[in-house]
Structure 1
Amino acid sequence: HDDGYFLLLNGGHTVATVHTDRREYEMVDDTTFQRLIGAALDAMGNLVTLHLADVKIETQSLGAGDSIAGYATRRFRLLQEYSVSIGAMGFTAANQHHVVVTDFWVSPDLRLPPNPLLELLATVETALAQRNEDFVHRSAAARAALFSGTPLKMVITSRSFDVDRGDSGRVAAGEHAVRTFEVTRVERASFDTSLFRIPDGFTRKDNPLSFKLF
């Protein structure tokens, strides 16, 4: 059992993992933290191979969105589509096609701090593509061109099918998974600044998340 918490420093661009039971902490930059899934796949070396093809990344501005947590929003959409060939121990284990659509609701009147944990969770649906440098950078650039800042709401809709079995019809029929992240309340408040500092007497340890990235 590990009693601890995440602490966002440097305007949300540094993530500290604080272990209160061991009086230790680790530090990692937000980019490394957000790409943890791809880094973990990289750490597996050649045991598992992933080859991407037919990559399509598109964006849309969908105009005015719903009011979220009392704030007017603009709605944006990011489409990520790709095929992936999964190999293990030199054999092709599966050929899959994935379609991931992420809708964002962003308030032009509210600047939320970066949230690396939210960004990490938002990559789960595209986990098998996170090992591909071009896919990661193209996706990040497409989103950055849409909006800046942290969205008040994200809805991630994902579909996938086995290419070899030819079950794309099942996906076209509407079978999909949906995950929603939403800020439900925003308030201005004052906090003790000590809450946002590493506690005195804690020892910094090497970061176990420091996989090789690109």
Structure 2
Amino acid sequence: MIFGAKGGLVTFNFHEGQIMDEKDDRMAFAFKTSQEDAVVVRISSSKSSDYFQVEIMDGKVLAVYNMGFVDHVVGDFSRKVNDNLYHVIKIYRSSLNVSMQIDDWSPVFKTPSGRQIGVFNQVSQIMIGGKRESKGQVNRGFVGGVRGLWYDGVNVGELMSRGDWRVKIEGDVTMTVRNEKNSQADLSKE
């Protein structure tokens, strides 16, 4: 998927039978950009303010997540990824504990202390290309490429290429020639 300068958003909505509470999540994708600040992927809840978001801030990639009370942040704050080259992101969440690996760099971890909720309530939507605000506008729009986005068994790029009814495409977004069906397998080798 290529997100152009005019801005765009790809939204995948889980159908009613797929919406559930999650204690563990896995996500993998590759992206490239030259932006300093953008939301690449946001996963949100239909029933609460729970979310998991991968973003670029000051040219560095980080994950921000909230399962009820507090925003938690994990990322590699020493290296920039806005060099317009593809970078592979792999994330695993178990309760509030998150590991994130960028390319072949050492993984970074977040293990919040104290008693907190670790369940992502009613996971219902994946947004690629920015964050939709309550008034409908897209905030912190992403410009660049995303390939092989896989979240807990859902390959959004593959579904988009097949014209799946659960995927909505808005704005300046084009599908790349690359076969999205094989992207997850490719990511595991990179």
| Larger RCO (alpha carbons 8 Å, 6+ apart) | 2
Instruction: Report the TM-score when normalising by structure 2.
Output: 0.26
More strand by share: 2
More helix by share: 1
Give the structure with higher Rg (CA): 1
